[in-house]
Amino acid sequence: MFGPVPVGRDDFRACIEEIRASVDDPKVGLFGPDSLMWEVNRRTVPYLLATSQAAFLDVAHPWIAQGVAEHSTLFTDPRMRARKTYNMLTSVVFADLPTVVRVSRAVHSLHTRVEGEVHADSGEFARPTAYAANELNALVWVHGASWYARLGMYERVVQPLTPAERDRFWQETKRYALCFGIPSDRLPATYADFEAYVADMLTNGQLAPSDASRRVMAFLATRIPERSRERLLAFNSLCLPERVREILELPEESDATRAHYRRVLRMLRATRALPPAIRDLPPYREARARLRGREIGPITRRMKVKIGGDAAARAPREVPA
């Protein structure tokens, strides 16, 4: 039987101290220009589309779906929530160390207020169970879902990685995980172990349909422009494991969904030819400029506000509720 493992303040502080000890240059932050984390996360369109896939994977977990449904501003101000989430996550990847620590503390503090009770239709949570955002098993799934989606999108759109590169990438994500109170020894040791973890999660009952997941998915579908909805839902569906498609009632694999998938993938690959100021995420370009002692250009500045909102022009202090 699944048992919750809370992440307390002392656990989180220990992770922050490990982050501080592991960073050689605070100006560079957690990773740097030679890291696969910067490479995999740098492109605008694949990054944003992978974000939606990671969200789908998240809400297949009843705890996470319930937390989003009950405590999030998703339904009242989805644009603000999306922008705050984007600003927070890209700060952890690309910002300097003081910003990373500040954002991490804010996220942990916010998560201490997210708790309640969940009841899924099936699986481990088929009876009422208490949930909390600062719970280790749920945090590990959110972490894994994010990199499952982002690495998958990178390899579809940009280029495949070698097994050694995938493992190197996975090791880099462990430093990112510390920012959310996840000790490295609680994550799969290698990328192959991570794949085994995902396979186990798809069958062990911790992912299951729930009223909260249906509510969240119905709302997210309405956020996709109607003229693109069928195509993008089909694409996202075929990027996800079959079990997740079933839980979230996404389109099944068929000739039609495969045709939509191919069409969207061609469009995504075409974005590789865009000018760097548009092709690459503003936080990535800002990080590169920071390390060179330069200011970002006007196109990057406009892109930064367009994607991240006015708050993106300031050091991120707020996190998504």
Task: Convert the pLDDT of each residue in 66-93 to its tens digit.
Answer: 999 999 899 999 999 999 999 999 999 9
Count CB neighbours of 191 within 10 A: 21
The residue ranges of every structural domain in the chain are 9-228
Among 107, 88, 142, 97, CA closest to 308: 88
pLDDT at residue 119, as a whole number: 78
Angstrom distance (rounded) from CA 256 to CA 253: 8
pLDDT over 70 percentage in the chain: 96
Q: Has residue 4 got a pLDDT over 90?
A: no
Q: What is the mean pLDDT of residues 106-126?
A: 87
User: Which segment of 38-42, 221-225, 236-240, 274-278 scores lowest on mean pLDDT?
Assistant: 221-225
Confidence of residue 320 (pLDDT cuts 50, 70, 90): very low
Q: Which residue has the tokens 């620590």?
A: 101
* DSSP-based helix, strand, coil % in the chain, nearest 5: 65, 5, 30
318 vs 5, which has greater pLDDT? 5
pLDDT at residue 25, rounded to an integer: 97
Which residue in the block uniquely carries the two structure tokens 């936080």?
A: 283
| C-alpha 263: how far from chain center | 24
Distance of alpha carbon 73 from alpha carbon 70, whole angstroms: 9
37-76 pLDDT, tens per residue?
A: 999 999 999 999 999 999 999 999 998 999 999 998 999 9
Residues 6+ apart with CB under 8 A from 189: none
Span 188-228, pLDDT tens digits: 999 999 999 999 999 999 999 999 999 999 999 999 999 99
Summary mean pLDDT of the chain: 93
pLDDT of residue 313: 55
Q: Which residues pair with 131 in a beta bridge?
A: 116
Determine the distance from the C-alpha atom of residue 73 to the mean position of all C-alpha atoms in its chain, rounded to a whole number.
17
Lowest mean pLDDT among 94-103, 147-156, 310-319: 310-319
In this predicted structure, the answer to whether residue 2 has a pLDDT above a threshold of 80 is no
Q: Tell me if 74 sits within 8 A of 216, measured CB to CB.
A: yes
Task: Give residue 236's pLDDT.
Answer: 97
Helix or strand run (H / E) with residue 117: strand 115-118
What does the alpha-carbon distance between residue 252 and residue 243 come to, in Å, rounded to a whole number?
11
**Would you state the pLDDT for residue 117?**
86
In this prediction, residue 315 carries a pLDDT of 46
How many whole angstroms separate alpha carbon 187 and alpha carbon 236?
A: 26
Residue with tokens 């309640």, as numbered in its chain:
116
Q: Is 164 helix (H, G, I), strand (E, B) or coil?
A: helix
pLDDT at residue 316, rounded to an integer: 42
Q: Is pLDDT above 50 for 318? A: no
Query: In the predicted model, is pLDDT for residue 319 greater than 60?
Result: no
- pLDDT-derived band at 314 (thresholds 50, 70, 90) equals low
Q: φ and ψ at 159, to 5 degrees?
A: -170, 150
CB contact at 8 A, 100 and 91: yes
**Predicted confidence band of residue 268 (pLDDT cuts 50, 70, 90):** very high
